[in-house]
Amino acid sequence: NHQAIVDVADRASGYGMPGVIVDGMDVMAVYEAAGEAIERARNGGGPTLVECKTYRYYDHVGIRGMGMTYRTDEEVETWKKRDAIENFEQRLQQLGVMTQKQIQAVHDKVLSDIDEAIQYANESPYPDASELLDNVYFEGEG
């Protein structure tokens, strides 16, 4: 653990805003927490730090290749059983909101969009070095 605090949401109070912790593996819980944060902001209450507790299935790049593992296969498999997308898809089917065929159509569209974006990126020229910091910081009045 590289932080002095357990929950990132605890940092919110230092910035004068509420911090909320939500199960990031539960799509509807995230949706509801985000909705409440958006509503608060729209009503003039300012920002909310929403910490979504989730799990990264894959190691950091190169760690396994270097023979350095820091979690067991069993741990990863346990978390995969809580996969946010798969569980949400099952929920949509159980509620009769979407069929498996409709879900597959969404998957196909997403993969197509990703392929198009990769092709666009590969065919695009590199930006000029002078643009490196463009749109990184807000440069308006303040």
Active site residue 56: yes
pLDDT of residue 61: 67
Output the CA angle 29-30-34, nearest 5 degrees.
120
Rounded to two decimals, the pTM is 0.74
Q: Is 23 helix (H, G, I), strand (E, B) or coil?
A: strand
Q: Identity (one letter) of the amino acid at 24?
A: G
* Domains in the chain: boundaries: 1-54
**Does residue 109 surpass a pLDDT of 80?**
yes
**Stretch 61-71: mean pLDDT:** 66
Catalytic residue among 56, 58, 126, 137: 56
From the candidates 58, 60, 126, 137, give the one annotated as an active-site residue.
60
User: Using an 8 Å Cβ cutoff, are 77 and 48 in contact?
Assistant: no
Q: By three-state DSSP, how is residue 53 classified?
A: strand
Active-site residue, from 70, 120, 126, 137: 70
Give the closest residue to 104 by CA, choosing from 85, 81, 80, 83: 85
